[in-house]
Structure 1
Amino acid sequence: MTIEEIVRRSSDPAIVFQLYQTIETIRKQRQIANLHRVVRYMEREFNCPPKECLQYLHQVVTDSLIVETVTVGCKGSKAGIEQEGYWIPDKEALLERISEESHDWYCFECHKPGKVISCSTCFRVYHKLCLDKPKNLHNFKCVWCKANEKPANEQERLALGKSLYFVVTQQKDYWTELAKKPDEEEHPYYNFFVHTHCDLERLQMDCHNCVFRSNEEFLAKALLIHHNYAVALGADHSLTNLAQQFVEDCEHELQELKLCRNCFYLSNTKPMKDWFCKPCDPPHQVVWAKQKGFDFWPAKVIRVEDERIDVRFFGRHHPRAWITIEAVRNISVSPATLKVKRKQHWKQACDEMKEYIRQCECALGKDEASKIILSDSPYGIGKNAKLLAAMEKVNRSSPTSNHSTPVKTTAEADVNGSVVVDDEENEAKSDILDDSEIVDENNHLATEIPSETKDKSDSPPAKRIKLEEVTVISKPISVRRSFDSEEQTILSELKQNNCGCKARYEAILMRFKDYVIESNRLDKSKMMRAAAIKSEHELDEVRSQVVAEYEDKIKELKEKHEEELREAKLRNWCRVCLEETPSPCCKNVNRCADCKDKQPSDVSMTSSQRKRRSGRSKS
Structure 2
Amino acid sequence: MEVMDSMGSSAVVVHPMDATNGDNGVNGTEGLTASPMTTSAPMKTSDTPMDTMETQLETQTVIQMVSEMVGQSVSHWCEPKSRYQRKTCTEMAVKLWRVLQTINGFHKSRQELHQKVSNQMLSEFNVKLNDNRINQLIETAIDDKLITAEETDDSQIRYVANFDRQLFGEVSTDWLCFECHLAVEDRMLIGCTTCFRAFHPQCLKVKVNPNSYECGYCERLVQRDTTLKVNQIPKALLNKCICLLLNNLELSFDSQMTTNYEVDSTPRAQVFVFKAMDLLTIREKATNGMYDSLQEVVNDFKHFQHNYMVCVDSEFKRKLKEVLELEKKFTHEVKELTLCVDCYVYSSDIGFDISDKPYDWFTLVCSPPHELVFAKFGKYPYWPGKVINRSPNGKTYDIRFFDAPEFSRALIPDIKCRPIEGFKYEEDDELELPVQLLEEHIRKINEKGLQFVQTVKTPPIRTSAKKRANMDTDAAQRPAKRSKKSTDSSMN
With the length of structure 2 as denominator, give the TM-score of the two structures.
Answer: 0.68
Q: Partner letter of residue 128 of structure 2? A: C
CA-CA distance at 1:172 after TM superposition: 3.0
- How high is the sequence identity, in percent, across the aligned residues? 24
Cα pair 1:225 1:243 within 8 Å, conserved: no
Instruction: Give the aligned residue type for 1:110.
Output: C
In the alignment, is the contact (CA less than 8 A) between 2:142 and 2:148 conserved in 1? yes
**Change in 2 beyond 3 A, CA 1:234/1:396:** farther
1:54 equivalenced with 2:54 (yes/no): no
- Matching residue of 2:147: 66
The aligned amino acid for 2:196 is F
SS state at 1:299 partner: strand
* TM-superposed deviation, 1:233: 1.5
Structure 1 residue 30: deviation in Å? 7.6
Greater Cα offset, 13-22 or 62-71 = 62-71
1:321-332 aligned within 5 A: 321-332=410-421
2-side partners of 1:11 and 1:331: how far apart?
Answer: 64
Give the structure 2 partner of residue 107 of structure 1. Answer: 177
**C-alpha contact (below 8 Å) 2:373/2:385 kept by paired residues:** yes
Q: Is 2:336 the counterpart of 1:256?
A: yes
C-alpha deviation, 1:245, in angstroms: 1.4
| Mapping 1:204-243, distance limit 5 Å | 204-233=283-312, 237-243=317-323
Q: CA deviation at 1:156?
A: 2.5
Distance 2:233 2:419 in 1: 36
* SS of equivalent to 2:422: coil
> Match for residue 159 of structure 2?
86
> 2:332 aligned with 1:246, yes or no?
no
1:586 is aligned to none
Asked if the contact 1:300/1:313 (under 8 Å) is kept, the reply is: yes
Q: Could you report, residue by residue, the CA deviation over 1:384-415 in whole angstroms, capped at 9, with x for unpaired residues?
A: xxxxxxx45xx21268xxxxxxxxxxxxxxxx
3-state SS of 2:201 partner:
coil
In structure 2, the partner of 1:167 is 245
Give the alignment partner of residue 280 of structure 1, picking from 363, 366, 373: 366
- Seen in structure 2, the aligned counterparts of structure 1 residues 293 and 2 have a Cα distance that, compared at 3 Å, is farther
Deviation at 1:295, TM superposition (A): 0.3
| Structure 2 unaligned residues grouped into runs of 5+ | 1-72, 79-83, 351-356, 464-492
**Which residue does 1:441 correspond to in 2?**
none
What secondary structure is seen at the aligned counterpart in 2 of 1:110?
coil
Q: How much has 1:10 moved relative to structure 2?
A: 0.5
The Cα offsets for residues 244-280 of structure 1, whole Å up to 9 and x where unpaired, read as 1111111110000000011112112337541101111
Structure 2: distance between partners of 1:299 and 1:346: 12
Question: Paired residue for 2:261, among 181, 185, 191?
Answer: 181
* Aligned with residue 460 of structure 2, among 396, 402, 426: 396
Q: Specify which structure has the bigger relative contact order, considering alpha-carbon pairs within 8 angstroms and separated by 6 or more residues.
A: 2
- Identify unmatched segments of 5+ residues in structure 1: 73-79, 382-390, 400-619
In the TM superposition, what are the counterparts of 1:204-603 in structure 2 within 5 Å?
204-233=283-312, 237-270=317-350, 273-305=359-391, 306=393, 307-316=395-404, 317-336=406-425, 340=426, 342-363=427-448, 365=449, 368-369=450-451, 371-372=452-453, 374=454, 376=455, 391=457, 395-397=459-461
Counterpart residue identity of residue 269, structure 1: D
1:8 corresponding residue in structure 2: 85
Q: CA deviation at 1:158?
A: 1.6
CA distance in 2, matches of 1:125, 1:234: 22
Decide whether aligned partners of structure 1 residues 116 and 346 sit closer, same or farther in structure 2, where only a CA change above 3 A counts. same
Alpha-carbon distance in 2 for matches of 1:267, 1:204: 20
CA contact (8 A) 1:259 1:303 kept: yes
The answer to whether the Cα contact below 8 Å between 1:104 and 1:195 also exists between their aligned partners in 2 is yes
Q: Out of 24, 27, 49, which is 2:101 matched to?
A: 24
Residue 183 of structure 1 deviates from its aligned partner by 10
Secondary structure at the residue paired with 1:318? coil
Name the CA distance, whole Å, in 1 between partners of 2:75 and 2:444.
Answer: 56
Change (3 A) 1:86 1:231: same
Give the conservation status (yes or no) of the 8 Å contact 2:291–2:297.
yes
Residue 334 to residue 172, structure 1, CA distance change in 2 (3 Å): closer
1:325 aligned partner, one-letter code: D
For residues 243 and 349 of structure 1, what CA distance do their matches in structure 2 show?
38
Query: Alignment partner of 1:349: what SS?
Result: helix
* Corresponding residue number in structure 2 for 1:516: none
Distance 1:358 1:101 in 2: 61
* Aligned residue identity for 2:86: R
Query: What count of residue pairs does the alignment treat as equivalent?
Result: 361
Distance 1:155 1:287, change over 3 A: closer
